[in-house]
Amino acid sequence: MSLAHRFDLVIFDWAGTTVDFGCRAPVDALLEAFQRHGLSLTEPQIRRDMGKAKADHVRALLDDPAVAGAWIAATGAPASAADCDTGGPDRAAERRRGRDGRDAARRGPPDRLVDRLHA
């Protein structure tokens, strides 16, 4: 039996793995965040731990000896737990509330994809 006939359903992770593979947004955001602290990281350094939760990704970057040394040189102190706290989407949304009163979120695939799965 060929592999093509062994599965009834295949589900893709549309939000990041399939559609956005190679996306610049998270790389550029991390490059800019570290640049704001005086560090010039490379794209390969940033991409090495891509896929981890953002706080874990930042911690992995700051645990890298080269990055840790550059952090100390730029800031005068080793990175702390607070330096690794990305805040997450809930805190970001909370900070936005009250500014213009508009927030939007979407979890899961668009309805048209779900409709096709159920067809």
By annotation, the residues acting in catalysis are 13, 54
CA distances 119 to 64, 112, 115, Å, are 48, 11, 6
Helix boundaries (H) for 49-84: 54-63, 65-75, 81-84
| CA contacts within 13 A on the Cβ side of 49 | 16
Spatial neighbors of 49 by CB under 8 A, at least 6 apart, are 56, 57, 60, 61
**CB atoms inside a 10 Å sphere around CB 49:** 16
